[in-house]
Amino acid sequence: MTPEREPVAPGQGAGLPMLLEAVLSVGSELDQEATLQHIVDSATELCGARYGALGVVDPERVRLTELYTAGMTGAERAAIPRLPDGRSGILGALISDPRPLMLADLGKDPRSAGFPPGHPPMHGFIGVPIRVHDEVFGNLYLTEKRGGGPFLDEDLALLQVLASQAGIAIGNARLYETARRRERWIEGAAAVTTALLAGSPAADALRCVAERARLLADAAAGVILQPTPEGGMEIVSASTQGDPGDLIGTTIAPGSAVLEQLLGGEPVFIEDSATDPRMTTRVRKRFGPSMMLPLQSGGQLIGTLALPRGRDGKPYDAVDRLLASQFASQAALALVLADAQHDREQLAVYEDRDRIARDLHDLVVQRLFATEMMLESTRKRSAAARPTSDTAGATTGATAGKASGETSGGGRVGDVAGDAVGEELGRAVDELDSTIQEVRTAIFALQQPPADVPPTFRGRVLREVHGAAVLLGFAPSVQFTGAVETLVTEPVAKGLLAALRGALAAAHRRSGVTSIEVEVDADAERIRLTVTDDGLAPAGRQGTTVTWESAP
């Protein structure tokens, strides 16, 4: 026996084909924004409404964060100063009580809060929640039945079916969008890690993190803050579409609530930087929603990554916060690894320089010194042998002159040849001595401590002296007289430092050196460097003083 079919309500047969078409169409998009707009357009057409809207609910803030509309022209929408946020009125009632709602006249309901200026008049209303799994994603609203009649139960039923299918479509679009966003953040973190491990300087590394994070988060600025000695935090690097110079140097004062959270390793999420009382910086009025994420690795706080959006920017959702926090953790680890790699490379450079210095000292200097001693000995023997040769030459010449009546002059020729050999040997000894001095100066330069060159002249002098102390075994004393920082120009400073290195290298060469005094005296007429040591000089006297002078 065939069961009887229930009678079809009037108009329902016409609505089912449109419903099927709407259900199929809302599932055809993967982009979330396109999907949401397609849903509200399909719902408006399906139920014959003049206006439609789809509000996205933020469960944390319990309000609407986005509103997609249908039926309103661009001019009508622009005439409304602000769209409803769902904190009050009928929209707020549907958020607090997410159940289907149908009203014959919005204005007569006691929960109604009225319309803002410029809003078109609306009377009939249908609202249904859109659920994604067990979570209320948003609400679908329709107003003003075309033709002037009221909405029917059939319209409400159709809208509920469409809303349930829309929840599935939104869930799929959300998964797709989340996967795309996660992929972009992972690619960004990998690019930052690659760039940092390529050996970029510290300032470039921080700027790289700020720039990449700003682009990924669609933020107005990417900012890196680091702790200050006073206990606050200071912006040390920033990335913006314009000039970030006004952001650099901005500080968060010690003791602020935001700072306590950051120093404790907790992220800070701010809905509106301009109005949040926790924000105290001078640039806060320029920004709206913001994330402040600690950069820490292994319990070590390196700094903070801040990603503020513009005043009218979209609030960060849960996915944004999760992905940005993961990026910050990865970037912090990359910064630590890059810093460690830089230290290893720098250590390898200085170890290689130490090896070169030892090789120069142990091989080159010793061989040069041995050659110098041999030439010096040869020169002395040549000088000692010349008197005998001269006497013999003179006697022979005199005898031959008596016999033949001529003077040979052989003794004078021998004197000239002996003097030439002595002069050549003396020049060779001097050249070797100069070469040894230059090699020792190079050794001192190679064994300087691994530190940046100080910006001041005094600091550069002290750096040279402290570097020499490594080889000397004691620290020379240094004294400055006069306004050296003002009077010593850069060309004079280079010459003075070169002379200082040479004097310290020469002192290290002498035996018995136990103390060295370095004095730099500057006045309006001259710059004088005096280096005095107590070592044994080549001539046998005790103590040596080297003086260098230049005009300011």
3-class secondary-structure state, position 515: coil
> Mind listing the pLDDT tens digit of every residue in the chain (552 residues)?
333 333 333 344 455 677 777 666 666 666 778 888 888 888 888 888 999 988 888 776 677 878 888 888 777 777 776 777 777 788 888 888 888 989 888 878 888 877 777 677 788 899 999 888 888 888 899 998 888 788 888 889 888 888 888 888 888 888 888 898 899 999 988 888 887 777 667 677 888 888 999 999 999 999 998 888 888 888 888 888 877 777 888 888 887 888 888 888 889 898 888 888 888 888 888 899 999 999 887 777 888 999 999 888 888 888 889 999 999 988 888 888 877 776 776 777 677 667 776 666 666 667 777 777 777 777 777 777 665 544 444 444 444 444 444 444 445 545 655 666 667 777 777 777 766 666 666 666 665 555 554 567 888 888 888 878 877 878 888 888 888 888 888 889 888 988 898 888 888 878 788 889 999 998 888 899 999 988 877 655 667 788 888 887
Domain ranges of the chain: 12-179, 198-316, 338-447, 451-552
Burial of 436 (0-12, 13-18, 19+ CB in 10 A): buried
DSSP letter (8 states) at residue 27: T
Burial of 307 (0-12, 13-18, 19+ CB in 10 A): buried
Asked if residue 331 lies in contact with residue 209, where contact means CB atoms within 8 angstroms, the answer is yes
Strands (E) in 85-200, as ranges, are 101-103, 125-132, 135-145
Dist. CA 479–CA 484, nearest whole Å: 11
**Residue 525: partners with Cβ closer than 8 Å, 6 or more residues away:** 551, 552
3-class secondary-structure state, position 484: helix
What is the model's pLDDT at position 442? Answer: 63
Residue 287 tokens read as 């920004």
Residue found by looking up tokens 């005095």 in the block: 532
Identify the H or E element spanning 442. helix 410-446
What is the model's pLDDT at position 399? Answer: 42
What is the model's pLDDT at position 298? Answer: 74
What is the model's pLDDT at position 5? Answer: 35
Give the number of other Cβ atoms within 10 Å of residue 447's Cβ.
Answer: 18
- Rounded to 10 deg, the angle between the 202-217 and 318-359 helix axes is 160
**Measured in Å, how far apart are the chain's first and last C-alpha atoms?**
120
| Domain 12-179, CATH number (from 3.40.50.1860, 3.30.450.40, 1.10.3720.10, 3.30.365.10) | 3.30.450.40
What is the model's pLDDT at position 166? Answer: 84
User: Is 198-316 CATH 3.30.450.40?
Assistant: yes
Residues comprising the chain, all counted: 552
| Domain 451-552, CATH number (from 3.30.70.580, 3.40.50.2000, 3.30.750.24, 3.30.565.10) | 3.30.565.10
Residue 150 tokens read as 């009221």
Same fold, 12-179 and 198-316: yes
What is the model's pLDDT at position 23? Answer: 67
What is the model's pLDDT at position 401? Answer: 43
Dist. CA 295–CA 303, nearest whole Å: 5
